[in-house]
Amino acid sequence: MQMNSKLKTPFLCFFEGLFIFLFFILQYNVSDILKIGNAFPPLLAILVFICGFFFGEAHGLYVGLISGILMDAVTVDSTCFYALLLMILGFFAGSIATHLLNNNFGAALTLGGTFTAIFFLAKWLFFYVFKGNGQGSVYLSSYALPSYIYSLILFVGMYFVFKFIKKKLTVK
């Protein structure tokens, strides 16, 4: 659904860059703050989806690319996995939200849950199934599932923060 209003793009890019930096620091440097048991949400993946959902394909694509490059830089054996995955997920989140869905909370939660599940399943396939690591079922049951549920809980709060930012950065 296209809107007739325009976003203040320089301010939006500033806020997206700020959130990328903040979430990267939270995810990789002070991760014990957000960790509950084995569950830890992929903050940058959630950010990519929300930017694509609220601001369109281009923003989802470039936030996904930047976030993915940062994740690949600190992850062993990822070989551009996160850059490609997050870029594709960000683009499709923006495309689906723009052309197929209404911009409401139910659609965002459903699509966000689907994309978060795709993120965890792709990570499982790439790091456990294709590489022959025998701990795939342990990853799914003790890390991916609790992290998925935790991600959905954090997604709710992030949805309303970004909805507020979009409202403030929209010129009518």
Which residues pair with residue 79 across a beta bridge? none
Could you state, in order of their start, the residue ranges of all structural domains in the chain?
37-167
Give me the pLDDT at residue 4, please: 42
Cα–Cα dist 111/109, whole Å: 6
Is 0.85 surpassed by the pTM of this model? yes
Amino acid letter at 149?
I
In this model, does residue 148 exceed pLDDT 60?
yes
In this model, does residue 31 exceed pLDDT 70?
no
Q: Which of 57, 22, 61, 58 is nearest to 43 (CA)?
A: 22
Cα–Cα dist 93/63, whole Å: 12
Who wins on pLDDT, 48 or 78?
48
pLDDT digits (tens, 9 = 90+) for 50-104: 999 988 899 999 999 999 999 999 988 878 899 999 999 999 999 998 888 777 8
- For residue 80, count other CB atoms closer than 10 A to its CB: 11
pLDDT digits (tens, 9 = 90+) for 120-140: 999 899 888 887 777 778 888
